Amino acid sequence: MISLSLRDLKFIPDSSIQNAFPEAQLDSPVRGISIDTRILKPQEIFWAISGETSDGHWFVSEAEKKGAIAAVVEKNKSNRIPSLNIPLILVKDTLRSLQQFAAWHRKRFKIPLIAITGTNGKTTTKEMIAWILQTKYNVHKTIGNFNNHIGTPLSLLRLNSEHQISIIELGTNHPGEIAMLSALVKPTGALITNIGQGHLEFLSDLNGVAKEKISLFRSLPRGGTVFLNRDDKKISAARIRRENTQDYSLQNDVRAKVHGRITGLNNNGAGIWKLNKTTIHMQVPGIHNIQNALAASAVGLYFGINEKQIKESLEAYHAYDKRMQIIKNTHYLIINDSYNANPDSFKPALDTLYHLSKGNNKRRIVVMGDMLELGDKSDQIHLKLFLHLLEISVDAIFTLGERSTAAGEKIREKGYERVYTFNSHQELADNLKRYLKSGDVILLKGSRGMQMEKVLAHL
């Protein structure tokens, strides 16, 4: 149960009430906030958000039937809603009011809140941090990847009086979004995982990405803590003057307070590394996950978690949904990294593919969907990636999407014939099944909008 009651709805800015609350119900606890009647639970508030393809106002009656305790709707649409027996909170803009109410709720809790952003590794690092901190604290964290202008307030509204620390993930694909979300969550600490080639369609270039991400550091209050990745040139070069800085590095940067050192990979491609003098055997594959683990360790150390506890936590941590998940059966192995893709995240995924495919009768197969939101450089970036796949001797490439298809056609012209393009997940999966043989290692990857996990479902 979250720390809200019906009485608290009066703090929604510029709101009015239709079907007023009976006095006896004002202290009724609110179970949660929902914007989706498909998952709404009894005693939750239904917040009617207008989207690009759907409008929550169409489903207010359905929300009442499912047990909603109240509904927040826009004044100019309230006359389209049939008579209900639950209170309606009337506002000018439901999305804006959701953000304002979440900001009000956040201010009720005087607890540390660490905000995380970066091009790659945000969710994994957030989960690792929470995994470590929960050994000592009651941790609140972002729901899944609810890191945008709608998901962030929904995550904040789950804060309750039992939480001792909060870890909030912030995403962006347009300039100014990090600053807006930071104003909402009021972080006391900030961590940027890395700066890479993501969302170039709207952030222009690497400098544009850096400017947007690094604005998170500038949003901190006086005394706020910066967790600084010394191994990322853009982050390390940022002119952030903070007395309270927890630096970390895998590359022996002498300025760093927290040091890591990679010592190897196990047979499953998971890293073995040292946090200062403590050896940690990861369960999740990929060198890049050591960088994520080091970032999480820096936060853990700052909050008083010792190295032994960090080691135990990280050695028990397994891959988060669709992020470097290893799926094995008797015939082949799949690296399911289908949650998202950009040029920088492909490199560690391909390194893992290469490592896991060493040995006899192990073919390397890349199943990929387009990398989205790369702007006018998209064709060039896709072709560069495909040429790299040839350099590392990938045995076959199965693609979905216009950009991947175009790049595939160009490498066919160079004499590489084992690139296959398809128009649907089902068609791709059917052909892949016929192609696979025992010992194959498959990397499944693509941008979120490509939903490449559907290929796995068809397999």
Maximum distance among all Cα pairs of the chain, rounded to whole angstroms? 77
220, burial (CB in 10 Å: exposed 0-12, middle 13-18, buried 19+):
buried
Q: How far apart are CA 221 and CA 227, in angstroms?
A: 14
Matching residue, tokens 């939903």: 451
Inter-CA distances, 77 with 81, 157, 329, Å: 7, 25, 53
Instruction: Grade residue 305 by pLDDT with cuts at 50, 70 and 90.
Output: very high
Question: What does the pLDDT average to over 216-233?
Answer: 94
Question: What does the pLDDT average to over 333-348?
Answer: 90
- Where are the domain boundaries for CATH 3.90.190.20 in the chain? 325-458
Q: Does residue 126 have a pLDDT over 90?
A: yes
DSSP labels, 3-57: S-BGGGGGGSTT-EEESPPPGGGTTPBP-EEES-TTT--TTEEEE--B-SS-BGG
CATH code for residues 325-458: 3.90.190.20
Q: What is the pLDDT of residue 455?
A: 93
Matching residue, tokens 């940067």: 253
Instruction: Grade residue 405 by pLDDT with cuts at 50, 70 and 90.
Output: very high
Tokens at 362, concatenated: 């192990």
Q: What is the pLDDT of residue 190?
A: 97
Q: What is the pLDDT of residue 1?
A: 64
Architecture field, domain 6-96: 3-Layer(aba) Sandwich (3.40)
- Where are the domain boundaries for CATH 3.40.1190.10 in the chain? 109-316
- Where are the domain boundaries for CATH 3.40.1390.10 in the chain? 6-96
For 359-421, where are the alpha helices, taking DSSP H only?
378-391, 402-413
- pLDDT exceeding 70 applies to what percent of the chain? 99
Fold annotation for 109-316: UDP-N-acetylmuramoyl-L-alanine:D-glutamate ligase (3.40.1190)
- The answer to whether the beta carbons of residues 312 and 141 sit under 8 Å apart is no
Q: What is the pLDDT of residue 289?
A: 93
pLDDT tens-digit series, residues 90-124 = 999 999 999 999 999 999 999 999 999 999 999 99
Amino acid at site 363: R
Q: Does residue 219 have a pLDDT over 90?
A: yes
pLDDT tens-digit series, residues 148-206 = 999 999 999 999 999 999 999 999 888 899 999 999 999 999 999 999 887 777 778 88
